[in-house]
Each structure stands twice: as C-alpha cells, then as structure tokens.
Amino acid sequence: LLTPSAKRFVLFPLVEPSLWESYKVQSEHFWTAEQCGVPPHDSLTHDGLPKPVRMCLARTAALFASTYRPGGVIQSAVLSISSRLHLPEARTALGWHVMQYNVHVEVACSIVDFLIGDSPLRGLLFDSV
C-alpha cells in the first residue's frame, strides 16, 4: 500500500483484488442523503419536540457536521493518509470512505436545518465548533 511505484496512477491491472472487491461491495450497499428523508424546516413534524431537546439534537448534529472543517481532525487524517498511499485500489477505497463521511455530514447539516431553520443560530452552531 505504501510502496512507491511508477504505475501508481493506473488502476488496472489490480494488485490487490480483494481490496477492490471490498470497495465495490461497499459502494453497492451505501445510501444517499436523500434516502434519509429529513424533512424541510417548514415541516411541522418537529414541533412536538420540546425546545431543549431540539437544541440538544441540533448541537450534536452541528458538532458532527463541523468535524470535517479545514484543519479538523478528519481532514488532517485524510490528507496525511492519502499522501502516503501509492496503491490505486487503496486510494480508491479511501476516496469512497471520504465520500461516505461527506454524506453523513450532509445529513447532519440537514438535521440542523430541520431543527433550527435558516436563522442566525444555525450559523452560530456551525461557527462555534
């Protein structure tokens, strides 16, 4: 995975077919943010939640969504790992994991939008982390 090679930019022929197969299985079984069905903020479905519960959920979702900000732990780890990977299958698998993480962040942001809406509080939640 970490050995430099002149063929590091060419995916085929595969060096580690099992890694590629794992990537293909994961990509076939993942969901999209739209499949989560987070309703828009103007929906009345969140009105049954007490305000302290909505705020707690919104803060938790904003914290998760903010972990991929520039200089954050996740982004630093991805940059560090990706700069060392030379095997194309491994880089593809890492890219897939980054995409999965981005879908989770999108869902977390949608949850904040649903609970808080487009208010100054939303910006405050994301900026305070």
Averaged pLDDT, 41-47? 59
* pLDDT confidence tier of residue 16, bands split at 50, 70 and 90: confident
For the record, the structure tokens of 125 come out as: 């939640």
* Residues 70-107 pLDDT 10s: 666 677 788 888 888 888 888 888 888 888 888 888 88
Give Cα separations from 3 to 86, 89, 90 (angstroms). 6, 13, 12
Sequential DSSP letters for 73-97? HHHHHHHHHHHH---HHHHHHHHHH
Give pTM, 2 decimals: 0.71
